[in-house]
Chain A
Amino acid sequence: MKKTYMLEDLDCAHCAAKMEEGIKKLDGVSFANVNFIAQKLTIEADDNKFDDIMKEVKAIIKKIEPDCVVVD
């Protein structure tokens, strides 16, 4: 399943790169792209693990930039 989310208050380009790297490493993720300029996260991952993966994704994002909010 491929989904796109908005990342509100994503202000640091370096952080965006770190997020993308961290998300790519997650088990079950086949494609991940954090577009800092458009403030968007595009992620493609296994359907059955998707919700769990998204939980981990949100945790990673919170760790790197606490202010950043993932919006569906």
Chain B
Amino acid sequence: MTKKQKRMLYRIIFASVVLIFAIVLDKAVKNINETLVAALYLTAYIAIGYDVITKAVVGLRYRRFANENLLMTVASVGAVFLGEYTESVAVMLLYQVGELFQSYAVGKSRKNIAALMDIRPDTARVIRGEAKAVAAQEVLVGEIIEVLPGEKISLDGVIVSGVSSVDTSNMTGEALPLDVKEGDSVLAGCVNISGAIRVRVTKPFEESSVSKILDLVENVSSNKTKSEKFITKFARYYTPIVMVAALLIAAIPQFFTENPYEWIRRALVFLVISCPCALVISVPLSFFGGIGAASSKGILIKGSGYMETLSKCKTFVFDKTGTLTKGSFVISEIKSERLDSKTLLGICAAVEQYSNHPLAQSVVRAANKNFKKLLVSDVTEIAGQGICGKVENRNVAVGNSRLMNSRGIFCEDKGASTIHIAIDREYAGSITLVDEIKDETVSAIEKLKALGIKEAVMLTGDKQEVAEKIAAQAGIDTVCASLLPQDKVVILERIMRRDKKVAFVGDGVNDAPVITRADVGIAMGALGSNAAIEAADIVLMDDNPQKLSLAVKIARKTCGIASQNIVFALSVKIIFLVLGAFGLSGMLGAVFADVGVAFIAILNAMRAMRVKSG
């Protein structure tokens, strides 16, 4: 509790005691001095209500008629005029109790959400001659920091000495620790578990992945859900309407009733109920809680609106390479008439090491490191075709059938994952690679289907047969293969015209236009990739497609909680408004309704912060 809250608590206790005393004296003791009783009531009233009344009066100066302070003041003063001292004080008292509860609950929610996201350490132990503890912001790129076992890594960097295992669950939600050694990158926010490591800092504090994530999550509110927009509009119309209604209730019956006070009191009750606070607080709180919960599992949702859309998606479109598959190809066949496989692979790798193409990288990985001893020169990469160069002074061309044909060498087109090699203008052989499906893909798609996703679609630039093989393994319903990047957007648009909400999942690197176009664009393997984080609406911090179903679950739960709150708060309000108008509810009931509803709604919103794993 804050100091302000504690003071309020004391005031509440004090006022309650005085009030009870006053009531006892008033009702139980005969011939009690009226003035004494009145003084007691007044004391309690002022003790509990002085700030409300002050704010109301100040508000009047600024023409703020629709604020709760004024309403409560009018209501309680009105009650005094009606001779109901007890009710007057009790109403003010209950109101303050309610406000205190609300303030406490919201404060607690904020703390919980902050704790969920408190993954950023503030200090680092930097080696400047000797180990010094400094603020993490002061460490420069290139400096070495030391992280002992049990400590949080404060900055992004590369390990220069030491071996350890690292708990990445803060960033990725991944429970299993990651083994790291010299040369491996580590991220700020992760916890070093077993061994002391020294890390060379590669990014300044404000640019570490952790800071970027926290920035994104904290500035999330600009993308509002339909519910949030509805609440804002609603509150704007609701309050003046209720106030006018209260005035009418007080005024009109005056002309033909024998009991004018009764109608004034009902109007006062109406006024007391008119604050829409429960609604306005609980809805954004629910979504913020959901976003916090998601980020604790390594799912970064950039706006509550995207959460809402995700919960409604029935169709998921996937990119194949890197998303459903590992993206690191494995050699399935090496064919050559003249050379033995190892030699062919070595020559191929010698040239491919200068290319960034995933196929090239896979070849390099698979080859025996001896190829590095080969003399390579005059390397030229030809986009869309392959790469050429001189290996041990012989002309080597490595690439697809288009490259071969352009050099006058005949070869069959065996598909996108077959590399042809020509040495000195003669066909030398081919290497075929396969893209392995990720271990988690099958269960990921199963889980999505279990959640009610109707269709899973795969879009790929790869050949139909290859795509269909992966699709069959993964449980994908529809396959569109041999696509150029621009085709992917066209097909996505076609699907979006047919289905209401479509999510696209890609690995971000080349899928930016499709990610942007989809209703919900989800990027995977995004750690460190700025382009993906920029384009996507939802970012999965690790490569794991199983997080998709978790994201959908969180989204649905959060939206459900928000709807529950709206329905609950609105119904209770309306019921009490009607009861109040018909004189069936006193002021106490009204305040209770208002405050109790707000409290329950906030508690319910806090439920959104809890996530079950898997």
Contacts and interface: CB of A to CB of B under 8 A. Distances in A.
Interface in B58-108: 58, 62, 64, 99, 102-103, 106
A24 B113 CA distance: 27
Nearest to B51: A67
A71 interface: no
B20 interface: no
A40 B55 CA distance: 23
Given A14-B277, A63-B62, A66-B55, A37 B235 contact: no
Given A14-B235, A17-B235, A63-B64, A37 B277 contact: no
B218 interface: yes
- Residue from A35, A37, A64 whose CB has the most chain B CB atoms within 10 Å: A37
Interface residues of A, number: 17
Contacts of B221: 33, 35, 37
Contacts of A50: none
B532 interface: no
Contacts of B102: 11
B390 to A, nearest CB: 53
B386 interface: no
Contacts of B58: 66
B281 interface: yes
Nearest to B276: A14
A13 interface: yes
Nearest to B62: A63
Contact of A17 (B106, B232, B288): B232
A56 to B, nearest CB: 14
A35 B277 contact: no
A13 B55 contact: no
Contacts of A42: 219
Contacts of B232: 17
A35 B219 contact: yes
A21 to B, nearest CB: 8
B219 A13 contact: no
Interface in A4-57: 9, 11-14, 17, 33, 35-40, 42
Range of interface residues on B (Cβ < 8 Å): 20 to 34
A17 B280 contact: yes
Contacts of B218: 35, 38, 40
Contact of A14 (B219, B220, B280, B288): B280
Contacts of A39: 110
A9 B219 CA distance: 19
A64 B55 CA distance: 10
Q: In the complex, which of the residues A13, A17, A36, A66 has the most CB atoms of chain B within 10 Å of its own CB atom? A: A13
A61 to B, nearest CB: 12
A63 B106 CA distance: 22
Contacts of A37: 109-110, 113, 221, 284-285, 288
Interface string B36-60: 0000000000000000000100100
A9 B220 CA distance: 21
B288 A33 contact: no
B284 A12 contact: no
Given A33-B221, A37-B110, A37-B288, A12 B277 contact: yes
Nearest to B110: A37
B222 interface: yes
A13 B280 contact: yes
Interface of A: 9, 11-14, 17, 33, 35-40, 42, 63-64, 66
Given A11-B103, A14-B235, A37-B110, 6 more contacts: A12-B281, A17-B280, A33-B222, A35-B221, A37-B109, A38-B110
Q: Which 4 A-B pairs have the closest CB atoms?
A: A13-B281, A13-B280, A37-B288, A14-B280
